[in-house]
């Protein structure tokens, strides 16, 4: 993300430009948030040729003619000259004028007088080298995009104003092709009829009409032509979701209990958002607002609700919002599911009955609750609220009573009780037994590594408050030994640092640091173990199952230094047995992979070097053949990759000096 910011700022710093730049990304992915929080302030703090830069932002959403854009620019520029207005905005932290307020600005501006009676500073008004234009929502304008780009080109080509265009090119392409479709179809049909091609059987009717529409109304080509003239660079916006989501949570800071819960479960929010398969942060924002209502109602009416249930409600609220609002599924997929029991029975029965509804529910469950074990995972009152916007109290109470009867916390292992509900909800007479159960579970290695760290923070607090009769050294010894045993059966925790960041770790003493260091060491060992297994699973498909190898490698290895976890000699043995065509394909894939991800693949540098040595040793005394030549080219490509890694490594080391 920092590289993207710097690339945009480099464009702004350039002395002379006759082109605009484009930021392309999906709807709701946070492009406007990126402009407001990452770009705008950086630009406005810049000085170029002795002048402080000013940004002028315009959303083209709903614009129906080019004159409206001119009016927007006029209002945005003239407000900068009005001292009273500027003072008010600065004093109130206002960074832009609301659209409704713009309509009420004094029209005396048009006659050369501002609201405070001062004459317009025409030198400032005609200055262009200190302005940066930003046009947002290009695809949402109600004006022909070709006309808008032509209009913007006047500022860029003639006035050389730095200009940034924010849009979703995917939707723009769809819009260009689908506009006035009925009229286009009518004209295409008419032309085909006039040419006696309408009833011919050489092509299907639909295909003939589509081809004619494309020939006659190919706006996409017009767009590409003017884009090539206007846009110098297009940047693909790939948002840092964790950063943006943390920004979304700020709005709940006034609600102490809610924000504490959300901060502790940020990793669930992020993972559910990613599992949705979209980048639409607007839907996530609405889902979090819905959850606020749900959280408040649950805490008000059922204050002792198990924390695990609240976590599941959070996941379900976000998941169901994306499934319904992102258009991934029709609303009626969930309408006929009345309760959690019916939901679970559908998941099970989907293995036998393969109707679409049951198959979808199974996929929904596998996706959003993967690695999140919970007995109660469907909430009818939440599904109804998201789907209909009605919070049905009768359904809410029925669901909550069912939860109370289903989830018996007294039967949960002690460590799960600590992890899934606030400790103060455990009665005083139960607390000593829960503590002893936890210690026994930790000793036996029954608790996952990341959970041992979480529980340890509780025990440090309990010792500090005198709630348990153990000294910290004893606790430390028990937990360190338990971690060693647990690591035998635990799996690598990929989001460990995110989960640790969500903990309230106030203890910075050597004991806590020792626990954290041991956890990170063991977790890294589990990571190495996981990747060694993955490497073996993937590379063993060479040379007999190459299609499977290519599929797995493309999906799982492009951003993982997989060669670090594999034996170079064994890989060479497999590659040398592959066909010449496959050797070439593998070589091309490795070079392309290194070009795209050299920075994160550096850890495999040593093994890539060893692999090259093995290849060189093999071909050094061989008579030329096609395979030997192909292996020689393969070795040269490995050297090219080594050079890329070394260059990236040197660049990174130079930055740290």
* pLDDT of residue 355 exceeding 80: no
438: tokens are 């936890």
Of 70-74, 263-267, 404-408, 621-625, where does mean pLDDT reach its minimum?
404-408
Query: Which of 55-59, 125-129, 155-159 is the most confident on average?
Result: 55-59
With bands split at pLDDT 50, 70 and 90, how would you rate the model's confidence at 289? very high
**According to the model, what pLDDT value does residue 464 have?**
84
Candidates 167, 165, 168; CA nearest to 57 is 165
Instruction: Mark residue 49 as left, alpha or beta (left: phi above 0; alpha: psi -120 to 50; beta: remaining).
Output: left
Domain presence at residue 402: yes
Of 63-72, 87-96, 316-325, where does mean pLDDT reach its minimum?
87-96
Residues 45 and 112 in one domain: yes
* pLDDT of residue 106 exceeding 50: no
> Positive or negative, the Cα torsion across 93, 97, 98, 104?
positive
User: How many Cβ atoms sit within 10 Å of the Cβ of residue 504?
Assistant: 10
Domain presence at residue 429: yes
Residues 430 and 395 in one domain: no
User: How many Cβ atoms sit within 10 Å of the Cβ of residue 604?
Assistant: 20
Residues 358 and 431 in one domain: no
Q: What is the pTM of this model?
A: 0.46
* pLDDT of residue 276 exceeding 70: yes
Q: Sort 140 into a burial class: Cβ within 10 Å, 0-12 / 13-18 / 19+.
A: middle
Domain presence at residue 533: no
Residues 402 and 420 in one domain: no
Percent of the chain scoring above 90 in pLDDT: 32
Residues 568 and 492 in one domain: no
> Residue 569, SS3?
helix
Domain presence at residue 235: no
* pLDDT of residue 299 exceeding 70: yes
Residues 403 and 471 in one domain: no
Q: What is the pLDDT of residues 501-539, one digit of tens each?
A: 655 555 556 788 888 899 999 999 999 999 999 999 999
Q: Which of 378, 407, 436 is the last residue of a domain?
A: 407
**According to the model, what pLDDT value does residue 644 have?**
93
Domain presence at residue 237: no
Domain that holds residue 572: 560-656
Query: Which of 96-110, 503-517, 538-552 is the most confident on average?
Result: 538-552
Residue 650 and residue 561: Cα distance in Å, rounded? 18
Q: What is the pLDDT of residues 561-594, one digit of tens each?
A: 999 999 999 999 999 999 999 999 999 999 999 9
Residues 61 and 126 in one domain: yes
Mean pLDDT of the chain: 81
Residue 625 and residue 370: Cα distance in Å, rounded? 50
**According to the model, what pLDDT value does residue 105 have?**
44
Residues 421 and 509 in one domain: yes
With bands split at pLDDT 50, 70 and 90, how would you rate the model's confidence at 82? low
- Rg over CA atoms, the chain: 31
Residue 459 and residue 431: Cα distance in Å, rounded? 12
**According to the model, what pLDDT value does residue 421 have?**
60
Residues 441 and 513 in one domain: yes
Residues 6+ apart with CB under 8 A from 25: 31, 166, 168, 236, 237, 238, 239, 279
Residue 249 and residue 241: Cα distance in Å, rounded? 12
Q: What is the pLDDT of residues 458-500, one digit of tens each?
A: 888 888 888 888 888 888 899 999 999 999 988 898 878 876 7
Residues 395 and 432 in one domain: no
Domain presence at residue 347: yes
Residues 429 and 470 in one domain: yes
Residue 526 and residue 522: Cα distance in Å, rounded? 6
Q: What is the CATH number of the domain that holds 87?
A: 3.40.50
Percent of the chain scoring above 70 in pLDDT: 79
**According to the model, what pLDDT value does residue 282 have?**
83
| Total domains in the fold of the chain | 4
**According to the model, what pLDDT value does residue 121 have?**
47
Backbone angles phi, psi at 164, to 5 degrees: -120, 130
Chain Cα centroid distance, residue 104: 39
Q: Which residues of 281-302 are buried (b: 16+ CB within 10 A; e: fewer)?
A: bebbbbbbebbbebbebbeeeb
> Residue 190, SS3?
helix
Domain presence at residue 465: yes
Residues 6+ apart with CB under 8 A from 139: 145, 167, 168, 169, 171, 172, 175
* pLDDT of residue 108 exceeding 50: no
Q: Which of 175, 206, 229 is the last residue of a domain?
A: 175
Q: Which of 361, 382, 407 is the last residue of a domain?
A: 407
Q: What is the pLDDT of residues 109-131, one digit of tens each?
A: 444 444 444 544 444 544 667 88
Residue 24 and residue 169: Cα distance in Å, rounded? 6
Residues 583 and 627 in one domain: yes
Residue 4 and residue 38: Cα distance in Å, rounded? 10
CB 610 within 8 A of CB 639: no
Q: What is the pLDDT of residues 364-398, one digit of tens each?
A: 888 899 888 787 889 999 999 999 999 999 999 99
Strand 54-59: give its sheet, edge to edge.
Answer: 54-59, 131-136, 162-167, 20-24, 231-236
Q: Which residues of 384-422 are buried (b: 16+ CB within 10 A; e: fewer)?
A: bbbbeeeeeeebbeebbebbeeebebeebebbbbbbbbe
Of 191-205, 307-321, 473-487, 556-570, where does mean pLDDT reach its minimum?
191-205
């Amino acid at each position: 993300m920092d590289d993207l910011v710097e690339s945009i700022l480099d464009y702004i710093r350039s002395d002379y430009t006759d082109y605009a730049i484009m930021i392309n990304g999906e709807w709701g992915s946070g492009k406007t948030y990126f402009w407001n929080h990452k770009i705008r302030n950086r630009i406005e703090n810049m000085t170029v040729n002795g002048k402080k830069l000013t940004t002028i932002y315009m959303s083209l959403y709903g614009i129906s003619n080019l004159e409206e854009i001119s009016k927007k620019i006029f209002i945005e520029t003239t407000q900068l000259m009005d001292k009273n207005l500027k003072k008010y905005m600065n004093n109130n932290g206002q960074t832009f004028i609301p659209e409704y307020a713009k309509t009420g600005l004094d029209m005396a501006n048009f006659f050369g007088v501002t609201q405070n009676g001062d004459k317009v500073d025409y030198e400032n008004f005609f200055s262009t080298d200190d302005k940066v234009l930003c046009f947002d929502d290009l695809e949402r304008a109600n004006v022909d995009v070709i006309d808008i780009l032509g209009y913007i080109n006047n500022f860029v080509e003639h006035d050389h104003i730095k200009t940034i265009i924010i849009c979703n090119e995917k939707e723009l392409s769809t819009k260009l092709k689908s506009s006035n479709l009925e009229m286009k179809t009518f004209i295409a049909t008419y032309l085909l009829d006039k040419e006696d091609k309408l009833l011919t059987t050489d092509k299907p009717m639909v295909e003939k009409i589509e081809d004619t529409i494309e020939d006659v109304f190919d706006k996409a080509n017009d767009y590409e032509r003017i884009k090539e003239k206007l846009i110098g660079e297009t940047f693909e916006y790939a948002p840092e979701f964790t950063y943006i989501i943390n920004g979304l949570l700020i709005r709940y800071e006034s609600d102490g209990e809610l924000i504490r819960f959300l901060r502790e479960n940020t990793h669930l929010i992020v993972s559910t958002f990613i599992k949705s398969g979209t980048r639409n942060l607007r839907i996530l924002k609405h889902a979090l607002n819905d959850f606020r209502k749900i959280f408040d109602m649950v805490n008000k009416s059922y204050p002792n609700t198990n924390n695990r249930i609240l976590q599941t409600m959070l996941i379900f609220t976000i998941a169901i919002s994306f499934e319904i609002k992102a258009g991934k599924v029709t609303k009626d997929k969930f309408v006929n599911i009345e309760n959690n029991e019916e939901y679970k029975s559908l998941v099970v029965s989907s293995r036998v009955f393969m109707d679409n509804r049951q198959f979808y529910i199974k996929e929904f469950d596998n996706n959003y609750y993967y690695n999140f074990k919970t007995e109660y995972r469907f909430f009818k009152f939440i599904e109804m609220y998201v789907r209909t916007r009605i919070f049905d109290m009768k359904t809410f109470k029925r669901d909550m009573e069912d939860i109370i009867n289903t989830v018996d916390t007294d039967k949960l292992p002690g460590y799960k009780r600590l992890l899934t509900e606030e400790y103060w909800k455990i009665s005083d007479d139960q607390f000593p037994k829960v503590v002893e159960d936890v210690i026994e579970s930790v000793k036996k290695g029954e608790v996952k590594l990341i959970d041992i760290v979480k529980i340890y923070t509780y025990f440090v607090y309990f010792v500090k408050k005198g709630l348990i009769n153990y000294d910290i050294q004893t606790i430390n010894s028990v937990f360190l030994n338990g971690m060693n045993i647990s690591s035998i059966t635990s799996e690598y925790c990929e989001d460990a640092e995110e989960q640790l960041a969500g903990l309230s770790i106030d203890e910075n003493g050597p004991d806590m640091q020792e626990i954290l260091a041991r956890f990170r060491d063991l977790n890294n060992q589990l990571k190495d173990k996981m990747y060694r297994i993955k490497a073996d699973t993937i590379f063993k498909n060479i040379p007999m199952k190459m299609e499977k190898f290519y599929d797995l490698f493309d999906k799982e290895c492009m951003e993982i230094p997989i060669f670090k976890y594999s034996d170079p000699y064994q890989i060479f043995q497999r590659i040398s047995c592959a066909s010449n065509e496959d050797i070439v394909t593998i070589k091309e894939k490795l070079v392309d992979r290194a070009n795209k991800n050299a920075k994160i693949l550096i850890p495999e540098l040593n093994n890539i070097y060893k692999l090259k040595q093995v290849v060189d040793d093999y071909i050094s005394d061989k008579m030329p053949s096609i395979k030997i030549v192909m292996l020689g080219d393969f070795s040269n490509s490995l050297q090219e990759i080594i050079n890329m890694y070394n260059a990236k490594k040197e660049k990174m080391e130079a930055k740290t000096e």
